[in-house]
Amino acid sequence: MKTSKVFSYLALFGEITALPTGITSSSGQLQTLESSTALNKISVRDKLSRATANELLDGPCRSVTMLFAKGTGEKGNLGTGSSPGPALSDELKTSLGEDKVAVQGIDYKAKLTGFLKGGDIEGSNELIEMANIAATKCPDSKLVLSGFSQGAQVVHRAVGGLSSDVSSKISAVVLFGDPFIGENVGNLPESSVLSICNEKDAICRSGPSITGHLKYPQRAREAADFVISKLN
């Protein structure tokens, strides 16, 4: 993994004092760290109730099942704050109907060490398990996979471990702030994958700024429109 992305993630989560050997910082990057960390610490208490969804495990089968993997340090299994998970869930349900979409978050630790290793393996295994459950419990449901930041890494790893039968049920994949942007998602056709990368997001593009990494909920409508176009 490029050291610039490693630095950006360390900055984003206030880990600058623990930089690996060989990674340096400039005053400009440190300014970015200060402003971005402040943004990331905005209160999310009003969103905690929407941070977890277990509708695949606890609810009936629905026409669409979305599995979402949160980013590093996010609460619940959908995430809060900068996570687009709750917003994407809302947009899909608004468009398709509450009773048509089951949303299931992926429970995993989402620690920084997982990102540095290319995505938490336990998270990928959990996503594989949820996809298998969806395919068995709700064989007629269309699968949608989505992930934010490290969650996008988790999706990449998981899809490679799915059987062809389960993979064939995937209608769409949406990735936000993907560190692996430009890489294939398993053997899925490129046309079924949307990778959203904001300006000023060094996690998925070159550059020193990471402020764009905190603004993906604003693009949930775009993501939902793509998913809906692939369901028809």
Question: Is 156 an annotated catalytic residue?
Answer: no
User: Which ranges of 41-170 would DSSP assign to H, the alpha helix?
Assistant: 55-58, 85-96, 112-116, 121-137, 150-159, 164-167
Question: Is 149 an annotated catalytic residue?
Answer: yes
Tokens, residue 10 = 């360390």
Q: Hey, what amino acid is at 55?
A: E
Instruction: List the catalytic residue out of 124, 141, 209, 213.
Output: 213
Name the DSSP class of 182.
T
Question: Is 213 an annotated catalytic residue?
Answer: yes
CA distance 156 to 19: 26
Distances (CA, A) of 18 to 13, 28, 30, 202, 232: 11, 18, 14, 19, 48
Please give the span between the terminal C-alpha atoms of the chain, in angstroms, as a whole number: 37
Instruction: List the catalytic residue out of 141, 149, 171, 209.
Output: 149
Which residue numbers are catalytic?
Answer: 149, 201, 213
